[in-house]
Amino acid sequence: MEKHNDVVLSQADLEKELKTLPGWEVRDGWLRRKYVTPGWPHTMLLANAIAYVAEAAYHHPDLELGYAQVVVKLQTHRVKAISDSDIALAKAIDRVAMWKPEDGSPLTGYPKTWVK
């Protein structure tokens, strides 16, 4: 089996990281964020974007899908705690989930309410 060097985050380090991850919180030992979507199609698009990033990372979140929400939960199973891998994946997921064309881009962006 592959060797892993899970770095479990101390409470202090976790709090520091959470400041850089708006909307993310720790609940029952899981790093968690709820994305609110405009409805079912965007829920499925976001779920698949997260799945793609997670597979590239080879670190996978638990996902709970609702009609207009995607709940992402991260934990490192080997240590049953939040590790540096969970933080790194949360950042990668958040970049994709919250990405929009920047001001001045030739892209207009989605004309209606987007994922929050």
Ligand X SMILES: C[C@H](O)[C@H](O)[C@H]1CNC2=NC(N)=NC(=O)C2=N1
Which residues are near ligand X by CB under 6 A? 2, 58-61, 74-78
| Residue with Cβ nearer ligand X (68 or 88) | 88
Q: Which residue is nearest to ligand X (CB)?
A: 77
| Residue with Cβ nearer ligand X (25 or 109) | 25
Element housing 28 (H / E): none
Beta bridge partners of 76: 81
CA atoms within a 13 Å half-sphere pointing along the CA-CB vector of 106:
0
| Alpha-carbon distances, residue 107 vs 14, 45, 96, 110 (angstroms) | 36, 19, 16, 9
CB of 103 to ligand X, least distance (A): 34
CB of 89 to ligand X, least distance (A): 7
